Structure 1
Amino acid sequence: MKKIIITLAIASGVLTGCAVYMPDEPGVVVRPQGGPGNGFCPPGQAKKGNC
């Protein structure tokens, strides 16, 4: 039982020093392809009158 408690204490001590840093600006910018005048209309949207 003591070994389990000691192992958990060591594991929690090791994991508390971890940190994940994310960049402020995303590396990939996703732009919508649809829109008026570019000739692209997603499937099913033309029948609904959205294109």
Structure 2
Amino acid sequence: MKRFIIAMAVAAGTLSGCAVYVPAEPAVVVKPQGGPGNGFCPPGQAKKGNC
């Protein structure tokens, strides 16, 4: 029984120091490439009249 209590205390001490850090803002920013005036039209969109 003593070994079990010691093992649980060691496990609790080991896991208590864990921390997870998540960045506040996304690291990747996606900018739209299509649109009027820049000359880029995705494949298949010109036939649909979107460019």
Q: TM-score range by the shorter chain?
A: 0.5 to 0.7
The alpha carbon displacement at 1:19 in A equals 4.8
TM-score normalised over the length of structure 2: 0.58
4+ residue runs over 6 A deviation: 13-17
Rg comparison, structure with higher value: 2
The alpha carbon displacement at 1:22 in A equals 1.6
Q: Figure out how many residues of one structure are paired with residues of the other and give that number.
A: 41
Unaligned runs of 5+ in 2: 1-10
Work out the CA distance in 1 between the residues paired with 2:16 and 2:43. 49
Identity %: 80
Work out the CA distance in 2 between the residues paired with 1:15 and 1:38. 54
Unaligned runs of 5+ in 1: 1-9
Q: What is the Cα-based RMSD across aligned positions, in Å? A: 2.1
2:36 corresponding residue in structure 1: 36
The alpha carbon displacement at 1:26 in A equals 1.2
